Chain A
Amino acid sequence: MERVRSWLLSRLGGPLFGGFLNRTVPEETGLPHTLGSATLFLLVVQVVTGIVLAMNYSPTPEHAYDSVMFITNEVVLGLLVRGLHHWGSSALVIVVGLHMLRVFLWGSYKPPREVTWMVGVVLLLLIMAFAFTGYLLPWTQRSYWATVVGTNMVGTVPLIGRWLLLVVRGEPGVGPVTLARFYAIHVLLLPALLAPLAILHLYLVYRHGIAPAPGNEATVRKTKPFFPDQLAEDLAVSLAILLVLYDLTVIWGVPTEVRADPSSTTYVPRPEWYFLFLFQLLKYFRGPVWEPIGVVGLPLLLILLLLALPLLDRSPERRPSRRPYAVSGAGLAVVSLAFLTYLGAVQQPPGTRLPPAGSEQALITRGHEVFVANKCLNCHVVRGEGTDFGPELTHIGSGPYTADRLAALIRNPLSVNPKASMPAFDKISDEDLKALVAYLLSLK
């Protein structure tokens, strides 16, 4: 064993990560510094779960939703893998944000670490691009309409907007070309960009060492070893985050959604929470002049500001107490982001209300869910969707069936039609059956 080890070491030219592991970090390095490694850890979670998700996914409008249901319901522990990927993306956005805030407050972006910061800003943008493209993939109502709205924002860019929109979507609407495009960007392009930049970021962190606490720069300082002291702390935080992802998956699962319906006229589009601030911001910018300013100008300005921050703020002072403008600016940014997100979450768009509980419309909506959940489309066609093994149901509501007869037919098909080859759905609860029948009768 020892001989194999020494042979391998000599042929590798020495320990591969020796310098990275056997270094020292300032003694005050602690919990706030685990955010960077937690980001890396969450990226690893996304990559490994993403690989097995991709094995069972089909990026076409016909099959995307079914393949995601296949992952959720049929792949062993597929629900868990999907849950980790789903909640992991939200966790990633939060942890990256906190990491950035920590670096900002400690002034760690100051010389000589300016490029580390700039690469970090690009990594943040890549992660948002991951979140945006990944969101479309399950092809649910929510993901489809969030993408319609999100890509339309690109279309408001002055002069080249329409051209740019076409390039982003790949076709005038959001459809099969868009889905394949987003999938390729999500699993091929973005990882190819992210991996080298993340490595560069890490390498720069190693090169310059961990910044000491603000105000502690000049003194000869105490240190502690990176491995195992700091790495153990890093892993403890990563484990805690992983347990939170498990928890969220077990408690909430993955939000269930119905299949995307491009013909829907009642659906109220709403982005995932981390884009809500932008969604809300757009409510204040209207008209041909202000809209592009809000949609394109403001985000672009923010990004440029973040990128150029180490060049604009050149004072070597790192103590937060001596940087009142920088710290209050960051505070203002965090508060306004949180406030916009909160408003976006609670404000109901005018004129759009969920049907009141107990109303006929609510019953029909529930019935549609039951219809989808019981995979009725596996054998029936409704408005061009489904398999025509059994009778088409597009106009079943104008047929000769009464509610009772339909209910009996679903519970025990042979009792109504001795030649029926439809399996009996006798496990549907009375309430769901009532809703299902109401939905069917609404198909006229």
Chain B
Amino acid sequence: MAGRTGRRTFFARAFWGLAAAIGALLGIPVAAAFLSPGLRFRSPLRQPQASLAARLLSLGLRREEEESQWVAVGPVTSFGPEPRLAHHIHPAHEGWVNVTAEMQVWVVHKPGDGYKIFDNHCTHLGCPYHWDSTEQRFICPCHNGVFDINGNVISGPPPRPLDYYDAKVEAGTLYMGAFHRGGT
């Protein structure tokens, strides 16, 4: 009789243990893929050269650098100390679709201080703002957010300075790079 109960307990334990193992092995990858957009780290492994085991193992362990490439904004000669809205075609990646969209950024070049490239969306709720040359201020029409020429908040609801992009000059052309949140 004791043997029978022992056998029963053994099978019951085996059942729950196996169920948990299967649940984890199947549930974790599926849940991770489902939550993928919310997990900031991505596979560092866009390089097909990486071995498969390495790709699987390192998944989710490393944060991928914010993806960026240098994109030409225009010839340096067209920018000066007065902020100017630059239009250019920007290649972008939306999921698995490559799109090219017209993009606008504010460019300021103060001699001796390099180039500043501001994202043209107010840091409050994302409205496009403009430069008021008489006031010498960036003004957002939506909720009266006001920024100075360096992107710092002067008044209004914006929670942080203007967002900006890395800038570099090569062979007379201004390039924009990685995006940064204002104040960082």
Q: Interface on A for B, CB 8 Å cutoff?
A: 41, 44-45, 48-49, 51-52, 55-56, 58, 63, 66-67, 69-71, 73-81, 84, 225, 227-229, 231-232, 235-236, 238-239, 242-243, 246, 249-253, 256, 373, 378-379, 387, 389, 414, 418-419, 421, 423, 427, 429
Contact = CB atoms under 8 A, between A and B. Distances in A.
A304 B14 CA distance: 42
A267 B70 CA distance: 38
B173 A76 contact: no
Contact of B96 (A58, A379, A389, A423): A58
Interface string B48-69: 1100110110011000000001
Contacts of B55: 79
A365 to B, nearest CB: 16
A232 B60 contact: no
A58 B56 CA distance: 24
Nearest to B55: A79
Interface stretch (B27-35, B79-87, B147-155): B27-35
Contact of B18 (A239, A249, A378, A429): A239
Nearest to A71: B33
B42 A74 contact: yes
Interface residues of B, number: 52
B69 to A, nearest CB: 5
B35 to A, nearest CB: 7
17 contacts: A48-B30, A49-B29, A52-B34, A69-B96, A74-B46, A76-B43, A77-B32, A79-B43, A79-B52, A79-B59, A238-B18, A238-B22, A373-B48, A389-B91, A418-B171, A418-B172, A427-B47
B12 interface: yes
B12 A228 contact: yes
Contact of B43 (A73, A246, A418): A73
A250 B26 CA distance: 15
A341 B26 CA distance: 31
B30 A66 contact: no
Contact of B52 (A229, A238, A253, A418): A253
Contacts of A76: 32-33, 35-36, 39, 41-43, 59-60
A37 to B, nearest CB: 12
